[in-house]
């Protein structure tokens, strides 16, 4: 079907096409919203209904306030977009030697920096002073680094390639816990703990 023909689809045809897509996630919804902005409201409603069906059926979900709240949170997470620019990993441009160099300049262990890169440390517990120093070493703005650190932790696919157990994202630790468990020298620990005050 040509692009011209697709733009002539009525609301019912657009919703039907969306509902038979193999995935109803954020990417699919965004694609349909861009192609059919005139049907945006109906597409969002349809997406919510499909997510509620995935939770356990619309009737069961409607009878449980918790299930409705859960579906709504899942929907918001699926379509949430950053306010300004797309989220960029400030660590992505570092090769292994540059990564070690940044750790050395910050006077932290590689393990400590890996935990920050993998967002294993709760962003709320990281002092602004440290975020600013990290941003300077990464050649990024403090806001960009803070936004990256606040985003949900992700699992690096290579870490679980040969695992016989289903991999899971580990629970985040605090900045203080990271200081105490990341093979830092007493002097490094004291310097980082001073930033917490």
pLDDT digits (tens, 9 = 90+) for 114-172: 999 988 898 889 999 999 999 999 988 988 888 889 888 766 544 445 556 666 666 88
Confidence (pTM): 0.52
Cα angle at 47 between 46 and 53, to 5 degrees? 90
pLDDT tens for 171-181 read 888 999 988 88
Across the strands, what pairs with 121?
173
């Amino acid at each position: 079907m040509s692009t011209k023909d697709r733009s002539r689809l009525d609301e019912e045809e657009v919703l039907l096409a969306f509902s038979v897509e193999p995935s109803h996630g954020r990417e699919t919804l965004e694609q349909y919203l861009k192609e059919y902005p005139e049907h945006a409201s109906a597409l969002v409603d349809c997406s919510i209904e499909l997510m509620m069906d995935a939770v356990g059926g619309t009737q069961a979900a409607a009878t449980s306030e918790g299930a409705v709240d859960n579906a709504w949170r899942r929907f918001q997470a699926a379509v949430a977009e950053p306010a300004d620019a797309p989220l960029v990993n400030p660590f992505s441009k570092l090769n292994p030697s540059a990564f070690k160099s940044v750790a050395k300049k910050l006077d932290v262990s590689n393990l400590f920096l890996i935990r920050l890169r993998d967002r294993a440390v709760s962003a709320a517990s990281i002092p602004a002073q440290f975020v600013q120093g990290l941003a300077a070493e990464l050649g990024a703005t403090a806001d960009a680094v803070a936004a990256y650190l606040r985003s949900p932790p992700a699992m690096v696919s290579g870490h679980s390639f040969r695992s016989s157990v289903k991999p899971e994202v580990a629970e985040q630790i605090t900045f203080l816990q990271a200081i105490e468990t990341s093979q830092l020298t007493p002097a490094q620990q004291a310097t980082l703990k001073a930033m917490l005050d």
